[in-house]
């Protein structure tokens, strides 16, 4: 019998558990640990609430969690309740699937003003992450700036632009639904430091902006290179640029009160305001020979009472494990960090890629673990989950098991209002109360 601990119960953690279960069959005991009492990580807290088809992958993870030999242990905090050294003592292998839950900072003057919010916090707020339940983003302002040209910037723009009716069928939390319904934001600007050919936005997500009930996307024709140059883009990128060109060609719909304007070749250099964000100072950029953005020295100022930076994520350090800040991941070779310690997902690759990218990642690391620790019916000599349980018990840590999560989920579904998939519980005490604690 082999014992493996996976830290993090998002997509990377679940695909790894699934792959290990297939590789070892009954010869493995897997513990999936999460610091929150609920599983699914980025699926629950990162994927936009109006993208339920993406969130549906949680059903696959549920099957994994219900597989004999696999346990979910929520409310167990690596570093506070148990250390990596202790996990390595109890388990044959430990897999870090800890993702990248922190915001990369803009690192410009004024980025600490009230009203400047990172996407992890903003997305966490509208998705019911307990850490951001009290965020209260300023939505009493008419102009919002979104920094970055990735899919998260699109998610944030779309959520700011949607009407209440457009959230039907979503699982947006009540506090965000109500605040967004009362929002005064009308002018949303997405700033990209490079141009339309360099966006990190995928076509499906970009296309959605063309179908919003109350918002028109605006793109300046002058920002495009000659149409013939689109041919050198890969097909997905070409499709994204096609969407942008069609937005530029369309007449803004005067009946729609909101706008989502793309400001390309524009990088923020400062955020100003009297005690809160009021203005964004932007420098015009041009691409250098290597395709990177270089400032031209020309600056301008645009009103922005809410600034959401969507410029990527970072991971919190784990004591004793080297971390590469510039790449945003734990240095590893094909997922192996050091003897018996592995990384998958964003902890392995850095914060890029879709949910599905984590599947081959998890399978590859499971294969490496199977090669290093061939399945055996013999006891491995390590305490595994029983050892961890004793340790946690001695520390007064009472894990939330998968059956507890099912109770939380049932409580959320029972509280749902018409039109919503569920009413998420957003505070740790409420989540724990739902399981009778």
Residues that bind ligand NAP (CB under 6 A): 106, 147-153, 155, 192-194, 198, 200, 202, 205, 267, 293, 310-312, 351-354
Using the Cα atoms of residue 60, residue 403, residue 431 and residue 425 in order, give the sign of their dihedral: positive
DSSP alpha helix (H) spans, 56-103: 58-65, 84-90
Residue 242 or 430 having the CB closest to ligand NAP: 242
In the complex, minimum distance from the CB of residue 353 to ligand NAP, in angstroms, rounded to a whole number: 5
Q: Residues 27, 58: contact at Cβ < 8 Å?
A: no
With tokens 């099957």, the residue in question is 63
Residue nearest to ligand NAP (CB): 150
Q: Which is nearer to ligand NAP, 246 or 352 (CB)?
A: 352
Could you tell me the two tokens for 119? 């996407």
Please enumerate, as own/partner, the contacts of 353-361 that have beta carbons within 8 Å and a separation of 24 or more. Answer: 354/202, 355/11, 355/42, 355/43, 355/47, 355/54, 355/57, 358/10, 358/11, 358/12, 358/15, 359/11, 359/15, 361/12, 361/15, 361/16, 361/335
Residue 51 Cβ, how far from ligand NAP at the closest point, in Å?
Answer: 6
Residues 6+ positions from 314 with CB-CB distance below 8 Å: 100, 102, 103, 104, 325, 328, 351
Pairwise CA distance, residues 308 & 311, whole Å: 9
Q: Which is nearer to ligand NAP, 198 or 315 (CB)?
A: 198
Q: What is the DSSP letter of 12?
A: H
Residue (149 or 315) nearer to ligand NAP, CB: 149
Q: Show the tokens assigned to 167.
A: 């959230």
* CB nearer to ligand NAP: pick between 3 and 267: 267
CB of 194 to ligand NAP, least distance (A): 5
Residue 87 CB, nearest distance to ligand NAP (Å)? 27
What is the rounded CA–CA span in Å between residue 5 and residue 384? 8
2 or 194: whose CB is closer to ligand NAP?
Answer: 194
- We find the least distance from the C-beta atom of residue 264 to ligand NAP, in angstroms, to be 10
Q: How far apart are the first and last CA of the chain?
A: 33
Q: Which of 145, 129, 180 is nearest to 303 (CA)?
A: 145
CB of 20 to ligand NAP, least distance (A): 25
Nearest-approach distance from CB 327 to ligand NAP, in angstroms:
12
Tell the smallest beta-carbon distance from residue 249 to ligand NAP (Å).
23
Q: What is the DSSP letter of 338?
A: E
Select 159 or 388, whichever has its Cβ closest to ligand NAP: 159
Q: Give 50 or 404: the residue with its C-beta nearer to ligand NAP.
A: 50
Distance of CA 199 to the CA centre of its chain: 18
Nearest Cα to 106, choosing from 277, 289, 319?
A: 277
Say if CB 140 and CB 100 are below 8 A apart.
Answer: no
Least separation, in Å, of the C-beta of 60 and ligand NAP? 17
Give the residue with the Cβ less far from ligand NAP, 183 or 358. Answer: 358
């Amino acid at each position: 019998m082999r014992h493996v601990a996976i830290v993090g119960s998002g997509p990377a953690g679940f695909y790894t558990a699934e792959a290990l279960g297939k590789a070892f069959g009954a010869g493995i005991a897997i513990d999936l640990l999460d610091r929150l009492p609920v599983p699914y990580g980025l699926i629950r807290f990162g994927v936009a609430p109006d993208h339920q088809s993406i969130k549906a992958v949680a059903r696959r993870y549920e099957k994994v969690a219900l597989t004999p030999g696999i346990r979910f242990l929520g409310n167990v905090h690596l570093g506070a309740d148990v250390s990596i050294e202790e996990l390595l003592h109890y388990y044959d292998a430990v897999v870090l699937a800890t993702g990248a839950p922190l915001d990369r900072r803009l690192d410009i003057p004024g980025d600490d003003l009230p009203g400047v919010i990172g996407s992890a916090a903003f997305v966490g707020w509208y998705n019911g992450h307990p850490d951001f339940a009290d965020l209260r983003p300023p939505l009493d302002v008419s102009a919002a700036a979104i920094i970055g040209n990735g899919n998260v910037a699109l998610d944030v723009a779309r959520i700011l632009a949607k009407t209440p009716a457009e959230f039907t069928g979503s699982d947006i939390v009540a506090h965000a639904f109500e605040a967004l319904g009362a929002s005064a934001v009308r002018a949303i600007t997405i700033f990209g430091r490079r141009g339309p050919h360099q966006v990190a936005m995928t076509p499906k997500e970009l296309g959605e902006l063309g179908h919003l009930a109350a918002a028109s996307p605006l793109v300046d024709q002058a920002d495009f290179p000659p149409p013939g140059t689109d041919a050198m883009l890969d097909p997905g990128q070409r499709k994204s640029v096609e969407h942008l060109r069609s937005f530029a060609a369309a007449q803004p719909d005067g009946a729609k009160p909101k706008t989502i304007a793309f400001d390309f070749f524009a990088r923020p250099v400062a955020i100003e305001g009297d005690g809160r964000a009021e203005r964004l100072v932007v420098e015009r950029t041009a691409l250098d020979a290597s395709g990177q953005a270089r400032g031209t020295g020309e600056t301008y100022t645009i009103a922005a009472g809410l600034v959401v930076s969507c410029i990527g994520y970072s991971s919190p350090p784990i004591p004793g494990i080297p971390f590469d800040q510039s790449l945003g991941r734990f240095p590893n070779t094909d997922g192996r960090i050091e003897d018996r310690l592995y990384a998958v997902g964003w902890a392995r690759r850095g914060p890029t890629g879709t949910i599905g990218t984590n599947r081959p990642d998890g399978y590859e690391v499971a294969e490496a673990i199977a090669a290093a620790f061939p399945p055996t019916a013999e006891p491995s000599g390590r305490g595994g989950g029983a050892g961890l349980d004793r340790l946690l018990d001695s520390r007064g840590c009472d894990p939330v098991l998968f059956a507890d999560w099912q109770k939380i989920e049932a409580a959320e579904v029972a509280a749902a209002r018409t039109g919503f998939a569920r009413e998420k519980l957003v505070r740790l005490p409420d989540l724990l109360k739902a399981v009778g604690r």
